[in-house]
A and B are shown apart, each in its own frame.
Chain A
Amino acid sequence: DTAVSQTPKYLVTQMGNDKSIKCEQNLGHDTMYWYKQDSKKFLKIMFSYNNKELIINETVPNRFSPKSPDKAHLNLHINSLELGDSAVYFCASSLNIGGYTFGSGTRLTVV
């Protein structure tokens, strides 16, 4: 039933590790996004894909690599995790125009 689902919900890992977060939407939306919410609750876009094509890539370190195998999935892979990567990562989707539907977030803690 869930419209935009992310896994895992919580992720605790050590510095230097590589991890992935998965996102899937069943709304038939064309565009998917990754946003980062930091400890001050600021929300900043990281990436946007439209029909598997990267259309927005904000100034994100290249340790972050999104992958979209099809338009219903947008995964986020992070290499060599750093303490500053600790945040809540939200996936979202939308039609080409319109408001977003957000996932429930993945709380990443790097120790």
Chain B
Amino acid sequence: AQRVTQPEKLLSVFKGAPVELKCNYSYSGSPELFWYVQYSRQRLQLLLRHISRESIKGFTADLNKGETSFHLKKPFAQEEDSAMYYCALRGTGGGNKLTFGTGTQLKVEL
């Protein structure tokens, strides 16, 4: 079974402060991990995938297989980063099914 845990339902930071959104996963094989972002009442958009190892909008995430984590980080939060962030996992079987975490609402305050 594949499971994704995002322990924080809400994370509130001040503008300019560092951000870390936590994500832990459970999967017996080699998963692929993603971060999706949903701005208020909009569609989910792909933010990052671990295999591409890129930085989007200043966000980065590193897959740590030892700790089974894929935390999302940004050194300096901006007001426009306020959104819902979902971590997701795709296993090697099961028809390309993405299992999502419960999401973390990031609020960046001035």
| B103 and A56 form a contact (CB under 8 A) | no
Q: Which B residues are in CB contact (< 8 Å) with A98?
A: 96
Q: Is B68 an interface residue (CB 8 A)?
A: no
| A100 and B98 form a contact (CB under 8 A) | yes
- Encoded as 1 (CB less than 8 Å from any A CB) or 0, chain B from 69 to 93 comes to 0000000000000001010001000
CA distance A94 to B105 in the complex (A): 25
- List the count of A-B residue pairs having beta carbons below 8 Å apart: 49
CA distance A96 to B97 in the complex (A): 10
Q: Is A50 an interface residue (CB 8 A)?
A: yes
Q: Is B25 an interface residue (CB 8 A)?
A: no
Q: Which B residues are in CB contact (< 8 Å) with A90?
A: 43-44
**Contact A100:B46 (CB < 8 A) given known A41-B103, A43-B86, A43-B103:** yes
**Contact A102:B49 (CB < 8 A) given known A45-B98, A55-B95, A56-B97:** no
Query: B95: nearest residue on chain A (CB-CB)?
Result: A55
**Contact A45:B97 (CB < 8 A) given known A99-B34, A99-B49:** yes
A-B contact pairs, 17 of them (CB 8 A): A41-B84, A41-B102, A42-B102, A43-B86, A43-B100, A45-B97, A45-B98, A45-B99, A55-B95, A56-B95, A92-B44, A97-B90, A99-B49, A100-B44, A101-B46, A104-B43, A105-B43
Given contacts A45-B98, A103-B43, A104-B43, 12 further A-B contacts (CB under 8 A): A40-B102, A42-B100, A43-B100, A44-B100, A45-B99, A48-B95, A50-B96, A90-B43, A96-B96, A97-B96, A98-B96, A102-B45
